[in-house]
Structure 1
Amino acid sequence: MRFEPTYLVTATFAADAADRRGPHRQAHLTHVEELLRTGVALLAGARADLTASVLVLRAADAGAARVHCEQDPYWRHGVWTAIEVVDYLAAVPPTLGRT
């Protein structure tokens, strides 16, 4: 196993996210699918209580990870109200890692 720069992101939903997210949901999912397809995201989903989205991202640094999230339609349209980015030690198998 090897470790590479990886960040755990928690993006908190607005109190009225259920109402706000509808018009932006497809664009959000398209953005997340692109992060997964390109290998930037290793994992994307939400907390079971639906209070926050959770992502594990590869990036050069925490700022770069944050930029990926700030480009998401949920951030741009106020569905997310806060983004927390912390260092994460992802043990990446060779089949998932960059070469």
Structure 2
Amino acid sequence: MRFEPTWLVTATFAADARLTRQPHRAAHLDHVRGLLADGTALVAGARADLGASLLVLRAPDAVTARTLVEHDPYWQHRVWTAIEVIEYLAATPQSLGRS
């Protein structure tokens, strides 16, 4: 079985994110829509408690995955305070060699 390089990204929200995210939310959603539209992101969302955002990204390596998230307005405006990138074995049709 062949797995594409896929990464589970956790972006931790700042303690005041409920207030600070609003001015950047539209730009953040545009960024995420672009990643989903081109197939880079397989999943994107946030924990219901706004503790963190979670993304599953296709990228050749962890550095590239992290860079994609660092281009998000939430990171650039400190709505997120930390990014963790770990290798993820995504069992999707693409990674399993099926369409």
Letter in 2 for 1:89: L
2:56 matched to 1:56?
A: yes
Partner of 2:37: 37
SS of equivalent to 1:91: coil
Within 5 A, what are the aligned runs for 1:5-44? 5-44=5-44
RMSD, aligned CA: 1.8
1:79 is matched with which residue?
A: 79
Task: Give the TM-score, by structure 2 length.
Answer: 0.92
CA separation in 2, counterparts of 1:2 and 1:16?
A: 41
Unaligned runs of 5+ in 2: none
TM-score (norm. length: structure 1):
0.92
- Structure 2: which amino acid aligns with 1:65? A
Structure 1 alignment gaps of length 5 or more: none
CA-CA distance at 1:92 after TM superposition: 2.0
The AA in structure 2 aligned to 1:78 is R
Runs of 4+ more than 2 Å apart: none
Which residue in the other structure is 2:89 paired with? 89
Q: Deviations over 1:42-88 (max 9, x none)?
A: 00001122100000000010000000000000000000000000000
Does the CA contact (< 8 Å) of 1:66 and 1:83 recur in 2? yes
Number of residue pairs the alignment of both structures matches: 97
State which drifts further: 30-39 or 43-52. 43-52
- Identity between Structure 1 and Structure 2 (%): 70
